Every structure is written in structure tokens, then in C-alpha cells.
Amino acid sequence: MEKMTQDYGKYTPEDLKVWKTLFERQLVNLPGKAHPEYLKCLDKLSDVLNPNKLPDFGELNKKLLAENGWSITVVPGLIPVDRFFKLLSEKTFCSSTWVRSMKQLDYLEEPDMFHDIFGHVPLLMNSQYSSFVQKFGEMGVRYGHDKTVEKQLQRLYWFTIEFGLMAQKERTQIYGAGILSSAGESKHIFEDDIEVLPYDVEKILHNDFVTSEIQTRYYEIDSFEQLFESVGELEKQLREEVAV
């Protein structure tokens, strides 16, 4: 398969306008809502990840590789789950290069570059979080051939990497990319009609979700350390599932 690359010359003024609009909106929206570590990591990347220019993956990769050995690879959109697991296990994060239109600012059926880069990439600068993501990929490679386990891993990814919350003294804060990259989601989680449950690997593995609806249930973990350490519980659960 020919490796895809980011064609930086194809971006248009509207692409930049969309990127700038989304980025600046979240810079205003996220303080006090996003976990401070996410904001710290975003700031560490500010010379190559900011509202004033579309991200250049080559520039981002230099930063990510130097910090924790991660890099970004270009994908056309959603890819087979087994390939996704393998890339994560190799410290490679997948990203689209296309940018939504101005008419799509608030809703997309599948992730664009803003979600993938703004939402996911900054926390790869955190060693415990990025180690969790890599170990998650390794679990997928090891056990994902079982279709039941594959589905369970998708649930864990959804309720942590995409829609995870973390307990803080002041109030619950966001570390999941699906919330961080969405103005609507990052306001919705502080409304009264949601359910926030304590982080529990076994329960998450058996908690289904619907991608086409706004979320009503979230899981809250105490720290990035706990997230990384939960990989041991994850492997135990998956090993038992495969043995059944």
C-alpha cells in the first residue's frame, strides 16, 4: 500500500479560516474545562500547533518524536481496526488531512484534521497518557483477533481516549479528544442530564455506545497515572474473555 502524505499546497483560504475559527473558539472555551495537562501540552506545541497556520505534520512529528517517540501518519479516514491497533502499538497516531467546511463547524460524521490533531495530539506529549495509548494498541494487536474483544477495546477507546473525564479538586475536567475538539460536547458535559460514573475497566468493556448521538454517559478517572496503570486490569479482562 502506497504511503499517504500531507499535501500542504492543496489547502485553501477557507481551510485556514475553518481551522482558525475552530481553534480560537476552543482556546476561549476550554480553560477551566479541559484538564490543565492538555492545555500545558497544547502550549508546548504552540509554535507548530496554533490558530494562525494549518498544522504541518513534518513539524509536528519533530516535536512529538523528540518528546515521547510518537509520530503522525496520514490516513484517508476511518481504517481497519487491526491496522489502527498496530499503528498505535508502534507509537504512530492516525490523522486525516482534510478540513471540514464552514457549514460543518459543529457536526461531522467522521473525524477531520481538527479533531485528530487538536483533540488527540497534544496529550501525546504527556508520557503517562501516551504510554497508555501505546499499551492500548498492544492489547489490540494481542487480543483484537477476537471480534468480541475488538468491540470491547473500541468501547474502552471511546470512553477514555475519545470521551474521557478526569477528577479535579474544582470540578470534573476533560481529557477525551472527542470532547476537547467539540464546542458543543465541552459544554454539554457540565449540564444536568448526563451520568458520570467512576472509571471501571470491566464496566466500560461491556458498556455499548452510539456514535451518532450526543453522549449522556461518561467515565471519570482520577489521574493519568491511574489510566496507565489500568492497562494491567485491561489485559486481565481481555485474557479472560479470550479464554472463555
Residue-wise pLDDT for 74-85, tens only, equals: 987 778 889 999
Q: Residue 243: what pLDDT?
A: 66
Neighbours of 196 (CB within 10 A): 12
Residue-wise pLDDT for 85-144, tens only, equals: 999 999 999 999 999 999 988 877 788 999 999 999 999 999 999 999 999 999 999 998
Q: Residue 59: what pLDDT?
A: 97
What is the average pLDDT value for the chain, to the nearest integer? 93
% of residues, the chain, pLDDT over 70: 98
Q: Residue 159: what pLDDT?
A: 97
Over range 41-65, report the average pLDDT.
98
Which residue reads 487480543 in cell numbers?
143
Residue-wise pLDDT for 168-192, tens only, equals: 877 899 999 999 999 989 988 887 7
Cell numbers for 98: 482534510
What are the b/e assignments for 34-47, b being 16+ CB within 10 Å?
A: bbebbbebbeebee
Over range 23-37, report the average pLDDT.
96
Cut 0.75: pTM above it: yes
List, as one string, the DSSP characters of 219-244: EEES-HHHHHHHHHHHHHHHHHHHH-
Q: Residue 25: what pLDDT?
A: 97
Q: Residue 244: what pLDDT?
A: 52
Q: Residue 212: what pLDDT?
A: 74
Distance between CA atoms of residues 13 and 216, nearest Å? 36
Q: Residue 121: what pLDDT?
A: 98
List, as one string, the DSSP characters of 109-176: SS--HIIIIIIISGGGGSHHHHHHHHHHHHHHHHHTTSHHHHHHHHHHHIIIIIT-EE--SSS-EE--
Q: Residue 145: what pLDDT?
A: 87
What domains can be seen in the chain, in order of their start residue? 10-243 (1.10.800.10)
| Closest-CA residue to 219 (of 179, 164, 142) | 164
CB 144 within 8 A of CB 82: yes
Residue 55 has pLDDT above 80, yes or no: yes
Residue 60 has pLDDT above 80, yes or no: yes
Q: Residue 188: what pLDDT?
A: 87
